[in-house]
Structure 1
Amino acid sequence: MPDDSPATRGPRTQPDPFDPASVAIVVVTYNRSHLLTTLLTSICAMEPKPGRIVVIDNASDDDTTDVVESYRERLAAAGTELVYRRLDTNTGGSGGFSAGMETAYGLGAEWIWLMDDDVEVIPDALALLGRWTPRFRSIQGRRYDYDGSPFYWQYRIAPRMGIPIPFAPSKFDASGYKPMNSGCFEGMFVHRSIVQRIGLPDPRFFIYWDDQVYGWLASRITRSVAVEDFILRRTRDIKMVNLGVRNLRASSDAYRYYIMRNRGYIKQYYRAYGAYSPLLFAAGTAATFCKELIRLVAVERRSIAGAKNLWRGLRDAREVAADTTWRPMPPLPVE
Structure 2
Amino acid sequence: MSGGSPGARNPRLADFHIVITTYNRAGYLARLLETVAALSPAPDAVVLVDNASTDSTAEVIAAAAAHSPVPLIHHRLESNLGGSGGFSAGVGRALAEGAQWMWLMDDDVEALPDAIGAFHPWMVRYDALVGRRYDSAGEPFFWQNDFNSFLGVPLPVPGNVFARSNEFPTNVGCFEGMLVHADAVRSVGLPDPRFFLNWDDTMYGWQISRQRPVVYVNEFVLRKAREQRQIDLGIRHLNDSSDLSRFYSMRNRGLVAQYLRAHGVYNPVGFALGTALTTAKEALRLLAVERTVRGAGTLWRGWRASRQIMADTHWEPMPAPLPKE
TM over 0.5: yes
Contact residue 26 and residue 115 of structure 1 kept, 8 A:
yes
Aligned residue in 2 for 1:43 = 36
Kindly report which structure 2 residues correspond to 1:223-242, keeping only aligned pairs within 5 A, or say none: 223-242=213-232
- Structure 1 residue identity aligned to 2:73: V
- What is the TM-score normalised by the length of structure 1? 0.91
Cα shift readout 1:207-246 (whole Å, capped 9, x = no counterpart): 0000000000010111110000000000000111234443
Aligned residue in 1 for 2:155 = 165
297, 300, 309: which one pairs with 1:320? 309
Aligned residue in 2 for 1:67 = 60
Aligned residue in 1 for 2:51 = 58
Contact residue 17 and residue 134 of structure 1 kept, 8 A:
no
- SS of the residue 1:60 aligns to: coil
Aligned residue in 2 for 1:285 = 275
- Structure 2 residue identity aligned to 1:65: A
Answer yes or no: is 1:144 the counterpart of 2:125.
Answer: no
89, 107, 111: which one pairs with 2:97? 107
290, 311, 323: which one pairs with 1:300? 290
Matched residues in 2 for 1:225 and 1:135: separation?
10
Cα shift readout 1:72-112 (whole Å, capped 9, x = no counterpart): 1322xx3x111001111010000000000000011110001
Contact residue 134 and residue 223 of structure 2 kept, 8 A:
yes
Matched residues in 2 for 1:243 and 1:137: separation?
32
Q: 1:306 to 1:43 in 2, by over 3 A?
A: closer
Contact residue 26 and residue 97 of structure 1 kept, 8 A:
yes
Contact residue 155 and residue 226 of structure 1 kept, 8 A:
no
Matched residues in 2 for 1:298 and 1:190: separation?
35
Which structure 2 segments of 5+ residues have no match? 1-8
Deviation at 1:22, TM superposition (A): 0.9
- Structure 1 residue identity aligned to 2:252: N
Kindly report which structure 2 residues correspond to 1:11-22, keeping only aligned pairs within 5 A, or say none: 16-19=10-13, 21-22=14-15
Deviation at 1:172, TM superposition (A): 0.9
Answer yes or no: is 1:256 the counterpart of 2:253.
Answer: no
- SS of the residue 1:165 aligns to: strand
Contact residue 154 and residue 164 of structure 1 kept, 8 A:
no
Measured on the aligned residues, the alpha-carbon RMSD in Å equals 1.4
71, 83, 95: which one pairs with 2:85? 95
Matched residues in 1 for 2:163 and 2:284: separation?
33
